[in-house]
A and B are shown apart, each in its own frame.
Chain A
Amino acid sequence: MVNDGPLDIARLRRGDKPAWDAFVSRFAGLIHAAVGGVLRQSGRDLAEAADLAQDVFVRLCKDDYRLLGLYDPSRAAPATWLTVVARSVALDAVRRRRPPAVTLDDAPESAVAVQAIEPSGFKIPPGLLSPRQELILTMLYHRDMDPAEVGAALGIDPQTVRSMHHKALTRLRGHFAPENAPRRGVAGDT
């Protein structure tokens, strides 16, 4: 793959024009695709992709190449690092351009209907779920990903995802069991 080679950060940070041009030629497609992916997933106009990709290059070289200087080849390949940087820039843009909030009166009934939840009174003990269990549940229920997608994202087998999901729900069931509900009006509680 054309993007797998090392990155000569020192030359780039010296302002070496041929090195910068080669860098742009090598990674413009990857950066453009990375910001396009975020825009696509967020339902944004893909026409913004070129401008956002240009913004990525601006950030990489501004302040005396400060951001580019943070790249550590011992942690990840340059293509991976640049993909994360490009996605981060695109995500920032998506967050900034979110449409203004709609008032309750203007929102359709289906949008404001919520399922009754009883959060008050329950305490979540530290470590009830591990970070990975919490992340898996977030991916499954907040992002509506399936176990195969979660497994691919986390680099684990889908069956492991199912197993961790099951264990997490078992812990939540135990925690939210009726005997853990807050007692109301019980003598001695006052």
Chain B
Amino acid sequence: MSDFEPDGRDLWQRYRAAAAALAGPGPGPEPDPGALAAYLEGRLDEDAAAPLEAWLARHPDALVLVAPLAPAAGAAPLDLIRRARALVSAAAPARPGWRHGVAWASIAASLLLVGYTGFLAGHDAFDHHDAIASLVGGELIFGPGGGEGDGAVF
């Protein structure tokens, strides 16, 4: 471009340097692929394209996202097709259905049952600590300093 605007690059560099020195909000987050695709197809009007173009101007490496489409794509490697197809199994449904919910409910019920059983077992042991103490041949002390608490055997 320097062929007809000799000072163009210098002016651009000064503009970029001055803009970078300004403390202010950036051009926003990366646009979503839908917006970029619409832009690439020329479907956005000037107002809709403005924030996207501002973002692209500040992220020059992302210009590759909106480069003109190739007229035709070649064939993909067979190994890629095989691996990509294998991502979705014929047997397993990909979306969780009612079976998914039942499975989680079963897990939750099992956990509750285990917890409740443990509580009952612990409670019974507390009620019969004298008998247990005689069985283990010592004295049961609950908690530090002789208080009731952790059920340690000494």
> Is B5 within 8 A of A165, CB to CB?
yes
A residues within 8 Å of B by Cβ?
Answer: 1, 3, 13-15, 17, 20-21, 24-25, 28-34, 37-38, 41-42, 50, 53-54, 57-58, 61, 64-65, 70-72, 75-77, 79-81, 83-85, 87-88, 91, 94-95, 115, 117-120, 122-124, 128-132, 134-135, 137-143, 146-147, 152-153, 155, 162, 165-166, 169, 172-173, 175-176
Closest residue of chain A to B9 (Cβ to Cβ) is A141
Contacts of B51 in A (CB 8 A): 131
Known interface pairs A91-B65, A123-B18. Does A142 touch B34 (Cβ–Cβ under 8 Å)? no
Q: Which of B31-62 contact A (CB under 8 A)?
A: 32-38, 40-43, 46, 49-54, 56-57, 60-62
> Is B56 within 8 A of A135, CB to CB?
yes
> Is B7 within 8 A of A169, CB to CB?
yes
B residues within 8 Å of A by Cβ?
Answer: 1, 4-5, 7-15, 17-22, 32-38, 40-43, 46, 49-54, 56-57, 60-70, 72-77, 79-81, 83-85, 87-90, 92-96
Closest residue of chain B to A155 (Cβ to Cβ) is B42
Known interface pairs A70-B34, A155-B42. Does A134 touch B53 (Cβ–Cβ under 8 Å)? yes
Contacts of B15 in A (CB 8 A): 124, 128-129, 137, 172, 175-176
Contacts of A130 in B (CB 8 A): 50
- Shortest C-beta distance, A90 to chain B (Å), equals 8
> Is B76 within 8 A of A32, CB to CB?
yes
Give the distance in Å from the alpha carbon of A146 to the alpha carbon of B22 in the complex: 29
Give the distance in Å from the alpha carbon of A131 to the alpha carbon of B20 in the complex: 15
Contacts of B18 in A (CB 8 A): 119, 122-124
A/B interface sample: 30 pairs, CB < 8 A? A1-B72, A24-B81, A50-B77, A57-B84, A57-B87, A64-B94, A65-B94, A77-B41, A83-B40, A83-B69, A84-B66, A87-B67, A88-B65, A91-B64, A94-B61, A117-B14, A124-B15, A124-B19, A128-B15, A131-B53, A131-B57, A134-B53, A139-B63, A141-B13, A143-B60, A143-B63, A146-B1, A169-B5, A169-B8, A176-B15
> Is B57 within 8 A of A135, CB to CB?
yes
Q: How many A-B contacts if CB must be within 8 Å?
A: 210
- Shortest C-beta distance, A174 to chain B (Å), equals 10
Contacts of A53 in B (CB 8 A): 76, 80, 84
For A14, A41, A64, A76, the residue with the greatest tally of chain B CB atoms inside 10 Å of its CB is: A76
Closest residue of chain B to A137 (Cβ to Cβ) is B12
Instruction: Tell which of A30, A61, A84, A137 touches B40, judged by Cβ atoms closer than 8 Å.
Output: A84
> Is B5 within 8 A of A54, CB to CB?
no
> Is B94 within 8 A of A29, CB to CB?
no
> Is B80 within 8 A of A20, CB to CB?
no
Instruction: Tell which of A30, A42, A72, A95 touches B34, judged by Cβ atoms closer than 8 Å.
Output: A72
Give the distance in Å from the alpha carbon of A50 to the alpha carbon of B13 in the complex: 38
Closest residue of chain A to B65 (Cβ to Cβ) is A87
> Is B22 within 8 A of A124, CB to CB?
yes
Contacts of B61 in A (CB 8 A): 91, 94-95
Contacts of B92 in A (CB 8 A): 15
Contacts of B87 in A (CB 8 A): 20, 57-58, 61
